[in-house]
Structure 1
């Protein structure tokens, strides 16, 4: 499951929703059919109970009317036989409904009342219905029960030959010893029940059709919404992954489309955070690359000027050697003093000019060293500010990305709801089992609800897994960003500190060179004064030659020192150049917006 693509997981959710919707629809339709069947049975039972209650009440009414005649007998208004005769006449004429009538038999089966027919006065205990059932015998037997009783039998209607179902109720009237009964054909009940069943069935089928339509419409709408969500989510994820891979490759020039940045959901928040981070890195790395190129150019220029300075110092050293040789010759031969003095004057002037040029170049080197230090400190501060800004943006983006954790909370809530639903479904199943036959339909619905709850639980677990993947991706992005910030904070900052130290050393060397050039210039002036003294007075030639020899030796020594320090400066600048090239190679892999 962890190795599946997002589109596959969302498609699995789509299939699961289809199964849930279809299962719910089929379960509801099946439950409705079951309820309809129970309703038909309940309707038939109710109609037959109403019929039984109706004929029982009619018999009770007839018995209550007989009580009037028996009361007259007890009052002495008539004899018992007269009371029975009056009661029999009343029963014979008594009717209810369209064709309802009463009969009366004694406990021996002798008929007392039966519509005034010839059967009256005869014993009909052995009378049988169309199926050979001794109905009268059972009618009298159940009538002698405490509350009377019912009896079912078949008998053709008057003028007919088809046996039709009848149902009677009878009860013993003890004062007269009669079993009073009534009954009627019940085939009309079947017609009523059948008609009601058809009505209920039509209504049921209509609602089933509506439910099927609603289920299909709901399913299609759900499919449309889920397909839209799948397309939207996978499309954004592909673009976000491509964007992240582009950043991973070092290309900082890409930016998110304006439409994706306007989204208000978590994807929009992450998109804006990535866009802001890319822009910040683009600016920081661009500044590092530009300043690296500038620093490299400055290093090359300083190296060039140091080369020229070395050449000038070499020239000074050579001239000093020539001057020393000339002074020795002057001491050896006074005749050549004038000629040599003129040569020395010329050389001294050249030395003065060269010293002045060296002083100007040293000043330029000193200024460049100070400017390099300022640029390095400025770049370091810019990098430090950019790191703080990126760190703040990253922290804010990670805080905003924590909105994904709300999906985990919602998934937990769904699982809690499914657990409660399972518990309710279990309780419903228990109650349905207690209800017996009448609760079977409800038990089926409860089982389906429990099944749906289990499926919801699986869906919630899938959501939790997807949320964990998204959270892991955000955490990886945070780790990579932290490593990049640490690189800027440690390695880049260290390089800036090295550049500053090198600039300080370079500045100090330039000051030393300036001091030596100043001394060299002063010595040149002294040499010129000495030469002028030689020209003015031959007598001071020897003394001037000695002083000139000493001066040239000191110049040679200082020139040697200058050469040594110049070589040190060259070594330091080479290190600066190497560090600059290394930094340029590091940032060269990043592609930034050209400015």
Structure 2
């Protein structure tokens, strides 16, 4: 009847174990490969770092040697310069003492510069402080200006030579210059120093190609040492280190590689391996994976790490075959696979035994559950008792009856639950059969009471709807009145603001009227002053008129006296006539002025009178404005006292409106509640009928169960 669940679980567990083992092997293989590659990479990087440290020590030794050699060479040049200048000083002293002329002294210095040699055919030269050549072993340079001459590298050394010799008192220059009687240029250190007594620049120099040659020899020795050291270093089985420079020349080849290693092609890019490694090193990266073709034609994958040593322009790199990296991983995977297969077989056997022990109680209780589903409780109890007798469930039942449940697992709790369910379900079905009849009678009585309650709820719902309609009308009226009070309050506030603004405007008008009154008073006083000045002008005009009359009389008397004098008074007679004419003109002008002054007095008097009237009108206007301001201030005060009352009334209307709205809402809710109650009662009647039907059906269903009655 039942398929064995223990067999199916065993198959499932076996499949899971096999899948997990395979997944573990795949994951382990991938992880180990990555770990081996990472480990090999760390080893290669650490080995390259050791080589870089050795290169750094070699470079530092070369730098120290070059520095000391250059320092010694510079000191030797300076010592030679001091000796040469002391000889020049001797010539100068002979000139100063009068033993030789200045020309003879200079010629002696020139001959000394042309003929003196030291070290490796090194020489002296003499220039002016403008860099005109005076003495040089190469006679063709004498007489030329060398301020713009360049060395073989295009370096125009003239300005620096003048600065170091004349301004700094002496200094060194580095040039690339041919030796005497040679065309090839070589590096040279030149020392120049100013000779102020004759305004000369004296210089000498020494070639340093021997120092560079010595440095190159030491580099070759360093390469030999690196080749010897790298031959002792091995990465994996056949992996080696090698060195190449910026010119892609292999300085130290990998041990065991051919002579044409520098021509090895990276099949991934088509470039030479040295070219790709140089790009990786320049970018500051470490790793390069590539493919190469061996001499036998087979394509192999390899891995290299590279680092650039900038001071020497060298690259330290490694090369390792990828199959040598993966070989330990493959061996380990094979061993792990064999161990995993043995563990798998043992695990499947143990799991099958354990699952069978666990599934036997489940098999028994599943048979019990099958009989319960058919409604045969008596057969289910028999099967449970048989399983208990066989021993599958005895431990659980005994522990349950004695109360020892501390070591129960899920299966034990399932057995316990089935046992309890059988007992409970047997008594429950018996009780349900007895209670069915009682529920049927109670349902009939409950239906009658609900019908009576439904009629009362209908009456209450009708009354509630009428009351709700009245409440909505009250709420609407209250809201309209509240809106009216809001508008009244707004109008009162606006009226108060306008009245306040009117008071401020009247205050401004009052100040303007005061200023106008003050201005009219000032104009009145100025017109009064003009009137008095005009009166003074009238008196002056009168005086002028009297003076003109006197002058006229005097001129008449003078004319009479001139007539009496005869020909001696003719000139005076002419003057008297001219004076009389002038007096007549003055009298006429005085009349005109008097007329104008009279008109001006009349106009000023009229202006004074009009201005006096205007000043009085302004004063009346000021008084009226003050009275009007007091009246409007009273209106403002009344409006401002009225606004809080409007607000108080508005607040009361708002509260009344809200209360009416709340009453209306409550009545609506009450009406809805009444309707819902009615609907609920109808639903309850339906449910009561369904309950009666369900009880009948339940009695039919329970009748199927075969129970044991106590």
Q: Which structure: larger Rg?
A: 2
TM-score normalised by L of structure 1: 0.34
- Answer 1 or 2: higher relative contact order, Cα 8 Å, separation at least 6: 1
